[in-house]
Each structure stands twice: as structure tokens, then as C-alpha cells.
Amino acid sequence: MGKVSRRLLARWLAATAMVSTGAAAQDAPQPTQLEEIIVSAQRRSERLQDVPVTVTAFSAEEIELARLRQIDDIATRTPGLNFDAFPASQPRITIRGIGSSDRGAAGDPSSAVFLDEVYLGRPAAVAFDAFDVSRIEVLKGPQGTLYGRNVVGGAINVVTNRPELDGTDAAAEATVGNYGRLEAAGFLNLPLVEGKWAARASGAWRTHDGYVRNSFTGGRVEDQDTRSGRLHLYGEPSEAFRVLLTLDGTRDRADGPAQHVLDLDPTDPRSALWTVDRGRKRTAGSTEGYQDRDTWGVRGQLDWDLPFATLTYLGSYRDLDYHTAYDFDGGNPTTNRVGISGGNDEAGDFSSHELRLGSLPGSDVQWVAGLYNFNSNTDRLDTLVIDMGRPATEVYTQAAELTSYAAFGDVTLPLGEQFSLIGGLRYSRDEKDYRVSNTAGTAVLRGAGRFDVTTSDTYGAWTWRGGGQYRLDRDHQLYAMVSRGFKSGGFQDTPSSAADAADGFEPEFATQYEVGQKSSFLDGSLVWNNTVYVMKYSDLQTRRTLPNLSVVTDNAGKATIKGYETYLSWRPFAGGRLTASYGYTDATFDEFEPEPGVDYSGNRISRTPRHKVVLSPSYEASLPDGHSLLFAADYRYESLIFDDNANEGPERRPPTHFVDARIVFTDGSGRWTASLWGKNLTNEVTRTFQAVFLGANFGAYNPPRTFGATLGWRL
């Protein structure tokens, strides 16, 4: 790390000298400054350029103009962040090579999503609309000394707009597009008691026809019908006391997913059962399936300014009702000799309580300390049906209860005007009770025998972070940080025996060493940030398929993840802007023997591209009468991805190139906007999910080219 630090410092000093020399030589006025993004990555409001951690942040304007509506939209534009899912309503998020495929009732995500600081503890609960959102922050690396629920890989923080006390505000937009797309969204901000209370309501409805035609049923799949709403009530009864109450909900209805037989395994005689079908536009499943999700939550936050600190209570409750059914093989009796189908049914609720003290804004020493509690109850049903002329059904019933406690603290201590020491500590304790049975099906397909097992375990760990920040001046800083994260163990969702059901998997740990630099040049018209990191990952939880077709989670041993990320944003002239980012991720196993005689040491961790590039040029032209016209595009490249830790066979995704673009007209008053937009304009085709099963590789594809027009209005 010493050599890396010296190289980084030398490169930064060289760049500073070069840019400063260029700036001094300019006689023309400087270009328009870049807007400053305020983030709360350290549980306090700070300029993004002042935060001594790697954060990718998307402002409200960028979210709106680029039509960033869901988590997958954020993932495509963030180096180090990857997203996939099967089905699409159960997302799998990977940050810097750390993610989880475990959707069982007793499992946890390795990289998590927070909605207004509330942890969304189940994959299917990651459902919201990004309309009327203040910003989205992607924090990379272990988190825990600042945020309630500990995660190993990283966190995505979605921050919605709060009510404004000083005036009425409103906005609305409507969209039409191909595949029968119809969308509407709007918000209304109303002061209720002048200077004291205000309410803000927002809602969105988004629908489109299916991207894929089912040639067997005659219908379409991969459609959308999503309705989301949110209501905030905010008050300041006194100068020192603030109240924020929130109610939100999302309702999803969709068919699909569209599955395909992508490849055959010539070494497996069962490959003769299948017919390859790689057509992106069509599937031939026996049924169209469904993906239905209803989730809602309430949140309450109280802030009380004391003479020495702010006391905050944050409480939440969320409810999830989720049902999905799918044709896994994507065929029917005329194409495939065996039919594979399945589904998931999940009902759950989770609540959290957090009590924390934080330093007042402007304090010389910035600190936060708190207590945290998270509780969840999850009932889940996993169904697998194999039809060889006579259906055989296997059903796993799961019930899990989690109670998690934590105490945490974090402090930034200045030593002089330029250097600060940073340290944080957390203790986490998770208690899990679990019951799993496979007694409901008509057959036991995996030869596991009938069982009904009840078990429990407790997991605890200390995690921490420590480092330093050196500010040359307001525009330049260097930082170094070491942080350790922990994810508790759990139990199998589809165990192969009663013994496996009772014997779960152990916690995983990650320790990250990171050195970074953040700089602004040319009077704030150019921002250039760089970071280098090494992550030591131990006992990582991985999924694999056993010869008897059971899918189990194991602890894989050790891995090392090394990477470099750079971000540049530049306004070279009035109206012009270029944003570029690049991430290099080398994520490989040091030790991993999934079974005797099989060694994956040296293999790459699945679902992690080595290279990822995002380029976003734009130009805004000024027109008469104050009107403007914006031209913008986004180009994204990802290198080869292995979807299986074996790094062999067909489970891989070739490099991909995606292009989005938009033209936005804004009238002189700033109240009306009209945009033409397109996504995946080159109609790139890639696999978003794939898995080898019974001699074939089954999978799904990304959405095709979409385009449309949006009309927006603001009060």
C-alpha cells in the first residue's frame, strides 16, 4: 500500500501542476462551475468533494433527465456496482465484487439498499420509484460504523425530497413510448401551518406491454404495471425540534420472466431433452407466469438539538407480500421433453429502531454514536416442478425470525487546519430462529427425504474503520481508510438433508484498504477523483448446485479484490459537459474448494466485470427568449462476466456496449420541458441471468431498445 500511495500522490501532484499551469495561461473567462452535490454519506450534510470515502452520487437533475427510475438504472452508470436478478423482482446487487445470490428466508444481502436511511432487508422489498428524489448515493466498501445495519460490500442510499415549509410547489410529467408505454408522475408540496408544518405527496404510475412474445400462449411477458406513492409530513414545532413522518408504498404486477434454453452441455446425456432457443423477441413457455409484489412502509424521525449535540430517533416498519411463478425452461411439450417451472411466495415484515447522538453542524469535532435494532419475520415458499409427462412437485416451506442489535460510534478529529483522524467502531449481534420443511410436495425430487427442522444460531462481531484525511485546501484532499465489515451467517433455503438444514453457513468478513484523492480545478469547472483499494474477503458465502440438484450456500474460503476507480466531470465551455468514470476490479479466489478434488483458487468471483466504463457527454444550447435545448448521451461498457465461480462452460456474458440518448427542450420560464429519449439504442443483447441445470444452460435477456417522449411541468 505504501508504493501505491506514493504512485498516487506523485500522479496527483503532476496533474495538479499541469492543470494549474494551463489555468494560469488562460485569459478568457472560466467556464461555468459544476454544481456541488451535498451528500449524507457520513450521517451529516457535506459536499461530495469533502467526503473521505468513495461515493458515486446522482443529483435530482441527473435522475430526472436521464430517466433513472430503478436500482438497475443506477447500476449501469456506476463503476464497481453490478445488478442482476432472477426473477427481475428479486434483485441481486454486487458492489466491488461482493454480492449475494441467497434469497432464502434466513439469508441477508451482502450489499444493501437504504430508503431514507431505512434498511430494505429483503431482495423483493427493493421496490420504489425514483421520482421526486433528492439524490442517490452509492457507498463502496464495508459500512457499519455510521449506518444502522452492517453490510460488507457497500450500500445504496436513496434520499427522497422532504417537504418545504416556505412555499407551495408542484410538478407533473407524462410519458408515451414504444411497447405501449404510458407513464404519469407528479408531486405537490403544501405548507400547512406557515413556517411550522408542511406536507409533500408524490406518486407515479408506469406501464408498458411485454418486451417478449410468448409464441405458445399467444400473450406477452416482461411487461410492467407499477404504482408508487409517498406522503411526507414535516414540522418544526420549535427551533430545536423537528418531526418527519412518512408513508410510502409500491404495487407491482407483471408477467414473466421470459426464459430461454441458451446452451446445451454435450457431456451430459440429459442435453437431448432440450431445444436451444436464443431468440430475444420470443419465448415458448407453457405459461406466462406472474410477478406480483405489494410493499409499504411507515417511517418516523424526531430530531432534537441539544446544547452539545443533536439527538435523533428513527423508527420504521415495512410490510412485504410477494408472489412469483415462472416457466424456468422457457419451452413447452412441443419443444422440450421435460418442463421445469417454479415460484416463490413470500410474506414478511421488518422494523427498525435507531437512537443516535450527533455533533452539531459546524462543530470542530464531528462525531456520531448510536444504538440500533432491526427485527424481521419472513415466511417463504419455494416451489419446483419437473414435468416428464407427470408433474413431480417439491415444496420448501421456510420461516425465519431475525433480531439484530448494534452499538456504533464514529468520529472525525481535526489535528490542525489540514489533517484529520477518522475512527469508528461497531458491535453487532444477530439472533436467528429458522424452520424449514419439505413435507408439502408430491415428490422429493432431490432425494433429500422428508424432514421438518427447527434450528437457531447467534452471530456477533466487532467491525471498525480508521484512517486519515489531508486537505491541501478547499479544492484538494487526500485520504486513506481501512474498514472492516461483517455479514452474519444463516441457513439453507433448499437443504439436501435434515442434517444440512440444521447446519447453516458461517458469517463472512471483508477488510478494505483504500487510498483516495479528490480535486477540483479551473475554478470548480473540472472535478477529478481517484481511488485505489485492496479488499481481503474471508469466509464468503457462495451458492452452488449439488449433483442431486439442491442449491446450497457454502463458505468459500478467502478472496482478494483489488481495484482502481476514477471519476472526471468537466465543463470545458459554456453549455458543454463531459462526465467519465472507469472502474477496474480484479476479484479472485485465494482459497475455494467447493467439493473434494475441485479447486477454484485463482478463479474470478462471479458477476464481476474486470473493466467498466461510463461516458456521458452533453451540450445545452441557449435559444432566443430564454429557451434551451439539451443534447445528452450515455455510453456504457462492461467486459466479460462469469456467472458461475467455476469460470467454465457457457455461463458467461461477453463484453457489452450500451448507448442511451436524449434531447430536452426547456422553455424560457423553466416551467415546461419536453424530451425525446431512447435507451439501448443499438439494441444490444446480453444475458442478465443464466444457470446450468439438467444438461442445459437456461437464462434471460436484457430489455430491448426503448424510446419515448416525456412532457414535464413545474409550478
For residues 116 and 133, give the distance between their C-alpha atoms in angstroms, rounded to a whole number. 10
Per the prediction, the chain carries an average pLDDT of 89
Q: Is the pLDDT of residue 4 over 60?
A: no
Residue type, 665: F
pLDDT band at 324 (very low <50, low <70, confident <90, very high): very high
Neighbours of 635 (CB within 10 A): 16
For residue range 342-358, what is the model confidence (pLDDT) as tens digits?
999 999 999 999 999 99
Neighbours of 337 (CB within 10 A): 14
For residues 173 and 667, give the distance between their C-alpha atoms in angstroms, rounded to a whole number. 15
Give yes or no for a contact between 108 and 488, defined as CB atoms under 8 angstroms apart: yes
pLDDT score at 42: 78
Q: Got the DSSP string for 564-628?
A: EEEEEEE--STTEEEEEEEEEEEEEEEE--SBTTB--TTPBPTT--SEEEEEEEEEEEE-GGG-E
E strand segments, 146-219: 154-160, 169-177, 181-193, 197-208, 212-214
Give yes or no for a contact between 609 and 79, defined as CB atoms under 8 angstroms apart: no
pLDDT score at 1: 40
Which residue, 425, 384, 430, is CA-closest to 407? 425
Give yes or no for a contact between 246 and 252, defined as CB atoms under 8 angstroms apart: no
Neighbours of 444 (CB within 10 A): 15
pLDDT score at 582: 96
| Three-point CA angle 378, 382, 387, nearest 5° | 170
Q: Is the pLDDT of residue 18 over 60?
A: no
The backbone torsions φ and ψ at residue 61, rounded to the nearest 5 degrees and listed phi first, read -65, -45
| Three-point CA angle 306, 312, 315, nearest 5° | 160
| Matching residue, cell 412437485 | 393
17 in helix, strand or coil?
helix
502 in helix, strand or coil?
helix
Give yes or no for a contact between 71 and 81, defined as CB atoms under 8 angstroms apart: no
Average pLDDT over residues 579-601: 92
Q: Which helix (H) or strand (E) holds 91?
A: strand 91-95
pLDDT score at 46: 82
Q: How far apart are the first and last CA of the chain?
A: 53
Q: Which helix (H) or strand (E) holds 20?
A: helix 2-24
Percent of the chain scoring above 90 in pLDDT: 65
Q: 2-714 has which fold?
A: Maltoporin; Chain A (2.40.170)
Cell of 560: 482478494
Question: What are the residues whose beta carbons fall under 8 Å from the beta carbon of 119, sequence distance 6 or more?
Answer: 112, 113, 147, 148, 149, 350, 352, 374
Q: Partners of 406 in the beta sheet?
A: 372, 428
pLDDT score at 405: 95
| Matching residue, cell 430530531 | 303
pLDDT score at 549: 63
Question: What are the residues whose beta carbons fall under 8 Å from the beta carbon of 460, sequence distance 6 or more?
Answer: 427, 428, 429, 430
The backbone torsions φ and ψ at residue 71, rounded to the nearest 5 degrees and listed phi first, read -60, -35
What pTM does this model have? Answer: 0.89
The backbone torsions φ and ψ at residue 10, rounded to the nearest 5 degrees and listed phi first, read -65, -45
For residue range 37-77, what is the model confidence (pLDDT) as tens digits?
878 777 778 888 888 888 888 888 888 888 888 877 888 88
Average pLDDT over residues 286-297: 94
| Three-point CA angle 242, 246, 251, nearest 5° | 170
For residue range 380-402, what is the model confidence (pLDDT) as tens digits?
999 989 898 888 888 999 999 99
pLDDT band at 712 (very low <50, low <70, confident <90, very high): very high
Give yes or no for a contact between 175 and 674, defined as CB atoms under 8 angstroms apart: no
Residue type, 295: T
pLDDT band at 713 (very low <50, low <70, confident <90, very high): very high
Q: Which helix (H) or strand (E) holds 537?
A: strand 526-538
Give yes or no for a contact between 583 and 565, defined as CB atoms under 8 angstroms apart: yes
pLDDT score at 447: 63
| Matching residue, cell 431498445 | 705
Q: Is the pLDDT of residue 14 over 90?
A: no
Q: Three-state SS string across 372-435, please?
A: EEEEEEEEEEEEEEEECCCEEEEEEEEEEEEEEEEEEEEEEEEECCCEEEEEEEEEEEEEEEEE
Four-CA torsion 39, 172, 180, 89, nearest 10 degrees: 30
Helices and strands of the chain, counted as H and E runs: 4, 41
Cell of 509: 468478513
pLDDT band at 97 (very low <50, low <70, confident <90, very high): confident
pLDDT score at 31: 52
Four-CA torsion 9, 572, 619, 58, nearest 10 degrees: 30
Q: Give the ranges where 33-129 is alpha helix by DSSP (H).
A: 60-65, 71-76
Give yes or no for a contact between 616 and 578, defined as CB atoms under 8 angstroms apart: yes
**Order of strands across the sheet with 212-214?**
220-221, 212-214, 282-283
Q: Is the pLDDT of residue 332 over 50?
A: yes
For residues 269 and 277, give the distance between their C-alpha atoms in angstroms, rounded to a whole number. 19
pLDDT band at 23 (very low <50, low <70, confident <90, very high): very low
pLDDT band at 448 (very low <50, low <70, confident <90, very high): low
Residue 580, CB half-sphere, CA atoms under 13 Å: how many?
6
Q: Got the DSSP string for 446-461?
A: TS----EEEEEEEEEE
For residue range 217-246, what is the model confidence (pLDDT) as tens digits?
999 999 999 999 999 999 999 999 999 999
Neighbours of 313 (CB within 10 A): 14
Question: What are the residues whose beta carbons fall under 8 Å from the beta carbon of 596, sequence distance 6 or more?
Answer: none
For residue range 166-219, what is the model confidence (pLDDT) as tens digits?
989 999 999 999 999 999 999 999 999 888 999 999 999 999 999 999 999 999
Cell of 478: 487526500
Q: Is the pLDDT of residue 518 over 80?
A: yes
Give yes or no for a contact between 657 and 636, defined as CB atoms under 8 angstroms apart: yes
